[in-house]
Amino acid sequence: MLIGYARTSTLEQKHSLAAQVETLKDHGCERVWSEQVSSVAIRKALTDALEFVREGDTLVVTKLDRLARSVRHLGEIVELMEARKANLRIMDLNLDTSTPTGQLMLNVLGSVAQFERQIMLERQREGIQKAKEAGRYKGRKPTARAKAGEVKALLEAGRTKRAIAAELGISERSVYRIATQAPC
Protein backbone atom coordinates (compact mmCIF):
# COMPACT_ATOMS: atom_id res chain seq x y z
CA MET A 1 0.00 0.00 0.00
CA LEU A 2 1.22 3.51 -0.81
CA ILE A 3 0.84 5.89 2.13
CA GLY A 4 1.30 9.62 1.59
CA TYR A 5 2.51 12.34 3.94
CA ALA A 6 2.28 16.06 3.13
CA ARG A 7 3.39 19.02 5.27
CA THR A 8 3.80 22.75 5.06
CA SER A 9 5.25 24.98 7.75
CA THR A 10 2.77 27.83 7.72
CA LEU A 11 -0.89 28.47 7.16
CA GLU A 12 0.03 30.77 4.27
CA GLN A 13 1.11 27.67 2.34
CA LYS A 14 -2.42 26.21 2.07
CA HIS A 15 -2.19 25.85 -1.71
CA SER A 16 1.14 24.06 -1.41
CA LEU A 17 -0.37 21.57 1.03
CA ALA A 18 -3.34 20.94 -1.24
CA ALA A 19 -0.98 20.49 -4.20
CA GLN A 20 1.10 17.97 -2.26
CA VAL A 21 -2.00 15.98 -1.25
CA GLU A 22 -3.26 15.97 -4.84
CA THR A 23 0.15 14.86 -6.17
CA LEU A 24 0.30 12.02 -3.63
CA LYS A 25 -3.18 10.84 -4.53
CA ASP A 26 -2.36 11.03 -8.25
CA HIS A 27 0.74 8.93 -7.51
CA GLY A 28 -1.53 6.19 -6.14
CA CYS A 29 -1.45 6.80 -2.38
CA GLU A 30 -4.49 5.17 -0.84
CA ARG A 31 -4.13 6.99 2.48
CA VAL A 32 -2.67 10.49 2.88
CA TRP A 33 -1.85 12.28 6.11
CA SER A 34 -1.27 16.04 5.99
CA GLU A 35 -0.55 18.84 8.42
CA GLN A 36 0.54 22.46 8.64
CA VAL A 37 3.22 22.60 11.29
CA SER A 38 6.89 23.50 11.58
CA SER A 39 9.32 20.65 11.06
CA VAL A 40 10.67 21.13 14.58
CA ALA A 41 7.24 20.95 16.22
CA ILE A 42 5.45 17.77 17.22
CA ARG A 43 4.05 16.35 14.01
CA LYS A 44 1.03 14.23 14.90
CA ALA A 45 0.12 13.37 11.31
CA LEU A 46 3.64 12.07 10.62
CA THR A 47 3.54 9.99 13.80
CA ASP A 48 0.14 8.60 12.79
CA ALA A 49 1.31 7.81 9.25
CA LEU A 50 4.43 6.04 10.55
CA GLU A 51 2.34 4.03 13.03
CA PHE A 52 0.01 3.01 10.20
CA VAL A 53 2.82 1.66 7.96
CA ARG A 54 2.91 -2.15 7.72
CA GLU A 55 5.19 -4.68 6.06
CA GLY A 56 5.36 -4.13 2.32
CA ASP A 57 3.94 -0.57 2.49
CA THR A 58 5.72 2.47 1.05
CA LEU A 59 5.62 5.90 2.67
CA VAL A 60 5.60 8.54 -0.09
CA VAL A 61 6.53 12.23 0.25
CA THR A 62 6.85 14.82 -2.49
CA LYS A 63 10.12 16.29 -1.14
CA LEU A 64 12.68 15.24 1.47
CA ASP A 65 12.34 18.47 3.47
CA ARG A 66 8.63 17.73 4.00
CA LEU A 67 9.62 14.59 5.94
CA ALA A 68 12.78 14.96 8.02
CA ARG A 69 14.36 17.90 9.82
CA SER A 70 17.90 16.42 10.02
CA VAL A 71 19.99 13.46 8.96
CA ARG A 72 19.49 12.02 12.43
CA HIS A 73 15.71 12.32 12.17
CA LEU A 74 15.79 10.89 8.66
CA GLY A 75 17.88 7.99 9.98
CA GLU A 76 15.29 7.32 12.70
CA ILE A 77 12.49 7.26 10.12
CA VAL A 78 14.48 4.96 7.83
CA GLU A 79 15.26 2.62 10.77
CA LEU A 80 11.57 2.48 11.65
CA MET A 81 10.66 1.75 8.04
CA GLU A 82 13.31 -0.99 7.85
CA ALA A 83 12.10 -2.54 11.12
CA ARG A 84 8.60 -2.70 9.65
CA LYS A 85 9.94 -4.02 6.34
CA ALA A 86 8.49 -0.99 4.58
CA ASN A 87 9.99 1.46 2.08
CA LEU A 88 10.30 5.19 1.61
CA ARG A 89 9.78 7.03 -1.68
CA ILE A 90 10.73 10.67 -2.27
CA MET A 91 9.09 11.80 -5.48
CA ASP A 92 11.09 14.87 -6.51
CA LEU A 93 14.34 12.92 -6.17
CA ASN A 94 12.95 9.80 -7.84
CA LEU A 95 14.34 7.95 -4.82
CA ASP A 96 13.00 4.64 -3.55
CA THR A 97 14.60 2.80 -0.63
CA SER A 98 13.39 -0.54 -1.94
CA THR A 99 16.62 -0.58 -4.00
CA PRO A 100 20.24 -0.51 -2.76
CA THR A 101 20.93 2.53 -4.95
CA GLY A 102 17.94 4.31 -3.41
CA GLN A 103 19.25 3.59 0.09
CA LEU A 104 22.71 4.94 -0.79
CA MET A 105 21.32 8.08 -2.42
CA LEU A 106 19.07 8.76 0.57
CA ASN A 107 22.06 8.73 2.93
CA VAL A 108 24.14 10.96 0.65
CA LEU A 109 21.33 13.48 0.12
CA GLY A 110 20.48 13.54 3.82
CA SER A 111 24.11 14.35 4.65
CA VAL A 112 24.21 17.15 2.07
CA ALA A 113 20.95 18.63 3.43
CA GLN A 114 22.31 18.63 6.99
CA PHE A 115 25.56 20.24 5.80
CA GLU A 116 23.59 23.02 4.07
CA ARG A 117 21.56 23.63 7.22
CA GLN A 118 24.69 23.84 9.38
CA ILE A 119 26.27 26.34 6.97
CA MET A 120 23.09 28.45 7.02
CA LEU A 121 23.01 28.44 10.85
CA GLU A 122 26.70 29.39 10.98
CA ARG A 123 26.07 32.35 8.67
CA GLN A 124 23.10 33.36 10.81
CA ARG A 125 25.24 33.30 13.99
CA GLU A 126 27.94 35.36 12.26
CA GLY A 127 25.35 37.92 11.13
CA ILE A 128 23.89 38.18 14.62
CA GLN A 129 27.37 38.63 16.12
CA LYS A 130 28.19 41.44 13.65
CA ALA A 131 24.85 43.13 14.38
CA LYS A 132 25.51 42.90 18.14
CA GLU A 133 28.97 44.43 17.70
CA ALA A 134 27.41 47.27 15.71
CA GLY A 135 24.74 47.75 18.40
CA ARG A 136 21.89 46.90 16.03
CA TYR A 137 20.85 43.54 17.49
CA LYS A 138 18.89 43.42 20.68
CA GLY A 139 17.54 39.85 20.47
CA ARG A 140 13.94 38.90 20.84
CA LYS A 141 11.88 40.46 23.59
CA PRO A 142 11.44 38.20 26.62
CA THR A 143 7.77 37.27 26.32
CA ALA A 144 7.37 35.33 29.55
CA ARG A 145 9.06 37.93 31.79
CA ALA A 146 6.75 40.59 30.41
CA LYS A 147 3.81 38.51 31.68
CA ALA A 148 5.23 37.89 35.18
CA GLY A 149 2.59 40.07 36.82
CA GLU A 150 -0.22 38.19 35.09
CA VAL A 151 1.34 34.85 36.01
CA LYS A 152 1.61 35.78 39.69
CA ALA A 153 -1.97 37.10 39.77
CA LEU A 154 -3.31 33.89 38.21
CA LEU A 155 -1.26 31.77 40.64
CA GLU A 156 -2.72 33.71 43.55
CA ALA A 157 -6.19 33.13 42.09
CA GLY A 158 -5.55 29.38 42.33
CA ARG A 159 -5.04 28.58 38.65
CA THR A 160 -2.79 25.65 37.75
CA LYS A 161 0.56 26.31 36.16
CA ARG A 162 -0.48 24.33 33.07
CA ALA A 163 -3.67 26.39 32.67
CA ILE A 164 -1.73 29.62 33.10
CA ALA A 165 0.80 28.62 30.46
CA ALA A 166 -1.97 27.77 27.99
CA GLU A 167 -3.91 30.96 28.68
CA LEU A 168 -0.92 33.29 28.37
CA GLY A 169 0.79 31.46 25.50
CA ILE A 170 4.02 30.76 27.36
CA SER A 171 5.72 27.55 28.41
CA GLU A 172 4.99 25.76 31.67
CA ARG A 173 8.71 26.02 32.41
CA SER A 174 8.41 29.83 32.25
CA VAL A 175 5.46 29.76 34.65
CA TYR A 176 7.47 27.63 37.10
CA ARG A 177 10.46 29.96 36.76
CA ILE A 178 8.31 33.03 37.52
CA ALA A 179 6.58 31.24 40.40
CA THR A 180 9.89 30.40 42.10
CA GLN A 181 11.51 33.82 41.63
CA ALA A 182 12.03 35.86 44.75
CA PRO A 183 9.86 38.99 44.84
CA CYS A 184 11.66 42.11 43.58
- The number of CA neighbours under 13 Å toward the Cβ of 113 is 20
CA distance 123 to 56: 42
Element (H, E) at 109: helix 100-133
Helix (H) or strand (E) holding 3: strand 2-8
Catalytic residue among 9, 16, 39, 70: 9
Centroid of chain to Cα 97: 22
- 9 is known as an active-site residue: yes
Gap between the Cα atoms of 184 and 60, Å rounded = 55
Give the span between the Cα atoms of 62 and 76, in whole angstroms.
19
Query: If residue 165 lies in a helix (H) or strand (E), which one and from where to where?
Result: helix 161-168
Catalytic residues: 9
